Amino acid sequence: MDNLQKKYGFWTATAMVVGIVIGSGVFFKADNVLEASGGSLPTALLAWLIGGAIMVVTAYVFSRIATRVERINGVVDYFEQAYGQKAGYYVAWFMTFIYYPTLVAVLAWVSANYTQGLLGLDNAVWPISFVYLTAFFLLNFFSPVLAGRWQVTSTAVKLIPLILVAAVGTVTGLSNGLTMENFATAAKTVSGGGGLAMATLSTAFAYEGWIIATVINAELKDAKRTLPRALVVGTIAVVVIYMLYYLGISGVLTNDQVLAEGDAAPVRVISLIFGRLGGTLLTVFVIISCLGTLNGLIMGSARGMFSIASRDLGPRPDLFRRINPVNNCTTHSAMMGYVLSCLWLMVWYGNFAGWWGDFMDISELPIAFLYVIYISLYLWVMKTFTDLGSFSRYVCPGLAGAGSVYIIWGAVQKAMFLHFLILSLLILGAGVFLMHGRRPRNTKRR
């Protein structure tokens, strides 16, 4: 059996967009963006706004593409339609071996970080990371439908702390004057920073993930109508929620306190607003939020090799395109996604263990590489979508392309960018070698 059932609707697709985007980044990138902004809240908010605008415009362009291409794996299908089967294969290889598993590894770690803090444990973050990663791959393996329902539920839950912090923090900050003070006074504990481009790159992780909703394209009911609506509605909702949330934080903590708290800043804000018990409860919501994003990423990772094999490319396509007739799961593809995610979790661990000498930020660099792919698709839209008006055909792709270049420029300035580039080229080189990899004997290619 190699046909996926039409089992998801508009709300699941929208929940994937909102649920994958709003997850860990909104919580653990607050201090990174502020630090890159030189401690300036207006600059940090501008970076969040620019990053959000890039996401919305990009999603709009992809929504126009989605009305024309409905196959198996979103961005891979689009690139294949634009530049041919080999080009689509290379993108699928990048998504499968680099993009999905790197972000899965980081999200498992972030979820474990907040869990460790909640439970008051020491040195437990890596075992918990492995447990979370394994558990959600098993969920997607045994019950893809239940995984989809978890996506909707976790999305609803994760909005609770964001909305409460946004509402209560904003009112409090405007009442006591702290919000205006933060706007007027930059943090004193940071000097220089990376500038607006690097700050915007940091927001890219928090805004990333919406494209993964396209991996369930073949499993959506009325996909050509459902997916575009989900992309646009979901991304606009995310930007509004983010901006209000960060205004809420600025009403509770000073800029220096945000930097001092680091990744724990959101938990500190929640505790100050709602007290210790309320803070503990809402921290549970934060963990659920992160796990919702992890689940969405794993939904994409579990279908990575299936996307390649469905094109009769890569090693053993007969194996990786198999679908379990009992639970409609891409069984062997999910297993490969799990192994790759574990390997990248080791790479992420190496950053903290000092293996690389510097910090290879796999939470941001793969995203910047994806934007290179986006630019190629914008050029395709401009060239071939002749029936669209000037706004949809030229203005939006042009703006999205400019935003992509801006994010890529921020990535070039990151530590170990060259090292990650070389590693990525080696992985893609292996993909070239295995494009027509080993096949079982006496089996013809379809």
Residue 27 maps to which CATH number? Answer: 1.20.1740.10
Give how far the C-alpha of residue 201 lies from the chain's centroid of Cα atoms, to the nearest Å.
Answer: 13
446 has pLDDT over 60: no
The per-residue pLDDT for range 16-67, each reduced to its tens digit, is 677 667 766 777 777 888 888 888 889 889 999 998 888 888 888 887 787 7
10-14, 290-294, 378-382 — most confident range: 378-382
C-beta contacts of 174-182 below 8 A and 24+ residues apart = 174/251, 176/251, 178/250, 178/251, 178/252, 178/254, 179/247, 179/250, 179/251, 181/254, 182/41, 182/250, 182/254, 182/255
The count of C-alpha atoms lying within 13 angstroms of the C-alpha of 446, restricted to the half-sphere facing its C-beta, is 10
**Rounded Cα distance, 106 and 349, in Å:** 10
When computed from its CA atoms, the radius of gyration of the chain, rounded to whole angstroms, is 21
Give how far the C-alpha of residue 141 lies from the chain's centroid of Cα atoms, to the nearest Å.
Answer: 21
Would you put residue 328 in left (φ > 0), alpha (ψ -120 to 50) or beta? left
Q: Dihedral sign for Cα 398, 399, 400, 401, please.
A: positive
Task: Please report whether residue 444 resides in a domain.
Answer: no
Q: How many Cβ atoms are within 10 Å of 208's Cβ, its own excluded? A: 25
Write the DSSP assignment of 137-166 as a string of letters. HHHHHH-HHHHHHHHHHHHHHHHHHHHHHH
Strand-pair partners of 8: 220
Residue carrying the six token digits 């409460």: 164
Cα three-residue angle 21-257-124, rounded to 5 degrees: 60
| pLDDT at residue 226 in the model | 73
| pLDDT at residue 115 in the model | 92
Amino acid of residue 68: R
The per-residue pLDDT for range 396-429, each reduced to its tens digit, is 899 999 988 988 988 888 888 999 999 999 999 9
190-194, 357-361, 410-414, 426-430, range with the lowest pLDDT:
190-194
Count of structural domains within the chain: 1
**Rounded Cα distance, 379 and 390, in Å:** 14
Angle, nearest 10°, between helix axes 74-83 and 85-94?
A: 150
**Rounded Cα distance, 298 and 314, in Å:** 21
Instruction: Using pLDDT thresholds of 50, 70 and 90, give the confidence band for residue 90.
Output: very high
The count of C-alpha atoms lying within 13 angstroms of the C-alpha of 16, restricted to the half-sphere facing its C-beta, is 28
100-104, 172-176, 290-294, range with the lowest pLDDT:
290-294
69 has pLDDT over 80: no
Torsion over CA of 308, 311, 317 and 318, rounded to 10 degrees?
Answer: 140
The answer to whether the CB of 205 falls within 8 A of the CB of 102 is no
Residue numbers of the domain that contains 18: 10-433
Instruction: Using pLDDT thresholds of 50, 70 and 90, give the confidence band for residue 246.
Output: confident
Maximal C-alpha separation, the chain: 76
DSSP code, position 120: T
Average pLDDT over residues 85-109: 92
pTM greater than 0.85: no
The answer to whether the CB of 80 falls within 8 A of the CB of 88 is yes
Cα three-residue angle 19-134-437, rounded to 5 degrees: 95
Closest CA to 103 of 1, 12, 215: 215
Task: Please report whether residue 211 resides in a domain.
Answer: yes
Instruction: Using pLDDT thresholds of 50, 70 and 90, give the confidence band for residue 352.
Output: very high
- List the structure tokens of 228: 């575009």
216 has pLDDT over 70: no
Task: Please report whether residue 201 resides in a domain.
Answer: yes
Q: What is the mean pLDDT of the chain?
A: 83
The per-residue pLDDT for range 116-126, each reduced to its tens digit, is 988 888 889 99
- List the structure tokens of 385: 């979508």
Percent of the chain's residues with pLDDT above 90:
22
| Higher-pLDDT residue of 143, 184 | 184
Task: Please report whether residue 344 resides in a domain.
Answer: yes
Average pLDDT over residues 224-250: 83
Average pLDDT over residues 330-340: 91
| pLDDT at residue 265 in the model | 78
The contacts of residue 80 (CB under 8 Å, 6+ apart) are: 87, 88, 89, 91, 311
